[in-house]
Amino acid sequence: MVMATPVRIVLRPIGSPLTIGMSGLAIASLVESGLDLGWVPMSQGRQVGVVLLAVPFVLQLLASIFSYLARDGSAGAATGVLATTWLALGLLQIISISGAPLAAAGLLLVSSGAVLAPSALVVASTKPLPGVVFFLAALRFALAGVYQLSTAGTWNSVAGVVGLLVCACATYCVLAFEVEGQQRRAVLPTFRRGRAALATPDDNDARVDGINREAGVRQTT
């Protein structure tokens, strides 16, 4: 009788990285919307750039790294695109002298929105709430990019309004996921479905189902 080779799996518990990712997105969206809607004077665009580098870039870079460590590639890709977009946008705002629209920033924002949208759709297949937030962020990038390319102020205002919506939805995500993490159960609606809704705190079999066939898992004797 041939005995099956045992597989040893060591799981490292990680808190949901989406909380810091959504925190960074909420902060960045509010600050950028303030600039778009005239709440922050254009003369303070460099200060806004510093904020983008110091807060959302750092938070979403951490969220991207830990999403991949948690085997959530789609969320890692989405937060990674967000992090690097805020980094580039912040640097452009810091070095810009006049604060006028930049074609380079327009292309950056349009392309980031186009790349972020597919990741948002994949995330939404199991986690609709953050998926919708990522999709709104992609839309906000696209609208802001059109403004940078066309210089039509209407697009800037619409982008600012969408940014406020992103801020509100991302803030709700932070609250919902943090309460869920503390209570070990869903308290506020998060609309999880599919594999994301399979595992409960007491359902260990569902949590480790299929892990032995994933990349990086080695057989041991």
Average pLDDT estimate for 177-187: 76
Query: How many residues would you count in the chain?
Result: 221
Mean pLDDT to the nearest integer, 26-34: 96
Please give the DSSP secondary-structure letter assigned to residue 125. Answer: T
For the chain, percent of residues with pLDDT exceeding 90: 60
Reply yes or no on whether the pLDDT at 201 is more than 80: no
Q: What is the mean pLDDT of the segment spanning 135-142?
A: 97
**Phi, psi for 117 (deg, rounded to 5):** -60, -45
CB-facing half-sphere around the CA of 149: CA atoms within 13 A: 12
pLDDT digits (tens, 9 = 90+) for 84-129: 999 999 999 999 877 788 899 999 999 999 999 999 999 998 889 9
Alpha helix segments (H runs only) across 55-127? 56-69, 73-95, 103-124
Question: pTM value?
Answer: 0.82
User: 153-162, 195-204, 212-221: which has the highest mean pLDDT?
Assistant: 153-162
pLDDT digits (tens, 9 = 90+) for 152-178: 889 999 999 999 999 999 999 999 888
Residue 200, pLDDT above cutoff 70:
no
DSSP state of 188: S
Specify the residue for token string 């998060």.
Answer: 190
Look up residue 61 and give its two tokens. 């870079």
Return the pLDDT at 101: 84
18-196 classified as CATH 1.10.10:
no
Question: CA of 172: how far to CAs of 100, 114, 128, 155, 183, in Å?
Answer: 33, 24, 13, 26, 16
Predicted local confidence at residue 99, as pLDDT: 72
pLDDT at 188: 72
* Residue 199 pLDDT grade (very low, low, confident, very high; cuts 50, 70, 90): very low
